[in-house]
Amino acid sequence: MILEPRESNIFQTRMLEPRFTVALIFLVAFWSSALVAESAIGVNWGAVSFHRLKPSTVVDLLKDNKIQKVKIFDADQDVLNGLRGSGIQVMVGIPNEMLGVLSSSTDASDMWFRQNVSKYMVKGGVDIRYIAVGNEPFLTSYSGQFQNLVMPALLNLQQSLKTANLAGYVKLVVPCNADAYESSLPSQGAFRPELTQIITQLVSFLNSNGSPFVVNIYPFLSLYGNSDFPQDYAFFEGTSHAVTDSPNVYTNAFDGNLDTLIAALTKLGYGQMPIVIGEIGWPSDGAVGANLTAARVFNQGLINHVLSNKGTPLRPGVPPMDIYLFSLLDEGAKSVLPGNFERHWGIFSFDGQAKYALNLGLGNKLLKNAENVQYLPARWCIANPSSNLNQVASHFQIACSVADCTTLNYGGSCNGIGAKGNVSYAFNSYYQLKMQDERSCDFDGLGMVTFRDPSVGDCRFLVGVTDSTRASASSHSTRASAASYLRYHWWVIVLVFIIRGICLFVF
């Protein structure tokens, strides 16, 4: 899931040289699983949170729920180290901000590959199956910023894969938003005119290298962004607003969107290209229509629909290869530019506790909670009932400018708890973010610590966790992290060229 706004339409609804022996050992270790590519339900694991669980805790959560495929948004070393030896198949992401460097030379892509892929792909290491080159780089809101960087980066990285003897195992993909294609009916699907050339090059590359087309589909966003969008069409339980595209009839937005993509690919001569759904889900809070019931109904309906192998009208009996639910955990530090719901896509809350009953079709009938989560003491910061709260506005604004208060907004789970409840929620969110530092509950005497849980109904007053990793760093946006990563590696690459030049001059 990206931090920037997504576009939507009616069918959519975000320096050691490589060794051959290392690659051989890894390939042998995973040979049996590589022989059969099975469709599966996976998850996106984002980590833009004030309260990050230890990667080992999250990996145990994945394993306990029999989730064997995970997509991450960058090559986070803590996350990748946590995945070592787990047997979970991984899609590693490259932020859009890295595309410029990776498109500059094979030296740049070789370096990135060695540091973020090769060193993990050893016996007992990480089973990396895909590298996502950019994330929705063709979004209309980017105004073509990354468009010309995608293919050069792909070609360089493909060469790096070949150098490491992993081109037959690891596949490069480019997750696209569904705004890359458009139509009034699924059968008329076509890529946006300004993307026709680059998408043609992309699908030719994917086809030549045995890679699927990865697309992110969000029916919720169509419903959220269009008051005329029929609500029941976003779900899988039937609709009174079916779309007739003779001879096909569409009763849900997912099938309509997917067939729009299939029609667009067919126009380019790649109608049989395998498709992976990189992101799809429904938020549980932060907006009208984003609630626990809707999230459960959508996600369960989606899973049942896909696992039924019905496929779509244009691909009957052929569902997508894989579907990665968005997302595994709530991410309370994400940008709310698209909407307050951005922080509430998880099927689990930030601390790994299941939000609702969900059968992933992977062996467990219900989700299993994360175990051995280490919480801060059971205490909360609330508005002091004996204080005059007339002067609380500035403190409330300060607390919510730092901590997450999105559930207080219209449509949120805490929207109806009253003015004093709102203040208490804001104070507590700030207090937990500051790891229950007693000074953080002062607010000029307006706050007080209580040992009685102030949660009301579905409005949960959180308690922070103590087993978080790099908590301060995780509060930064993905964009800032990527920019820092970019600057560091750019200077490393420049240094390599300087040293190479010196060597050539001397020798």
Cα 498 to chain centroid distance, Å, stands at 37
Strands, sheet with 127-133, edge to edge from the N-terminal-most edge strand = 171-173, 127-133, 89-94, 69-72, 40-45, 322-325, 275-280, 213-216, 176-177
Burial of 447 by CB count in 10 Å (0-12 exposed, 13-18 middle, 19+ buried)?
buried
Which residue in 474, 354, 334 sits closest to 404, CA to CA? Answer: 334
- Out of 97, 136, 182, 342, the active site residue is 136
Which residue in 82, 168, 71 sits closest to 125, CA to CA? Answer: 82
Q: Where are the alpha helices (DSSP H) in 37-130?
A: 55-64, 77-83, 99-102, 106-113
Does the annotation count 279 as an active-site position? yes
Cis amide leading into 338 (omega within 30): no
What CA–CA distance (Å, rounded) separates 107 from 105?
Answer: 5
Which residue pairs, CB below 8 angstroms and at least 24 apart, start in 158-164?
Answer: 158/205, 158/209, 159/106, 159/109, 160/106, 160/109, 160/110, 160/112, 160/113, 161/113, 163/18, 163/110, 163/113, 164/18, 164/23, 164/113, 164/114, 164/117, 164/118
Does the annotation count 371 as an active-site position? no
For helices 106-113 and 150-163, angle between their N-to-C axes, nearest 10 degrees: 60
487: how many CB neighbours lie within 10 A of its CB? 12
Which residue in 73, 130, 55 sits closest to 479, CA to CA? Answer: 73
Burial of 131 by CB count in 10 Å (0-12 exposed, 13-18 middle, 19+ buried)?
buried
What CA–CA distance (Å, rounded) separates 51 from 487?
Answer: 26
Sign of the Cα torsion 108, 115, 17, 124 reads negative
> What backbone torsions phi and psi does residue 356 show, to the nearest 5 degrees?
-160, 165
Ramachandran region of residue 309, left (φ > 0), alpha (ψ -120 to 50) or beta? left
Residue 209, CB half-sphere, CA atoms under 13 Å: how many?
A: 27
User: Cα torsion at 129, 367, 333, 55 (round to 10°)?
Assistant: -50
The DSSP 8-state label assigned to residue 39 in this structure reads -
- Out of 7, 97, 182, 279, the active site residue is 279
Cα 255 to chain centroid distance, Å, stands at 21
Active site residues: 136, 279
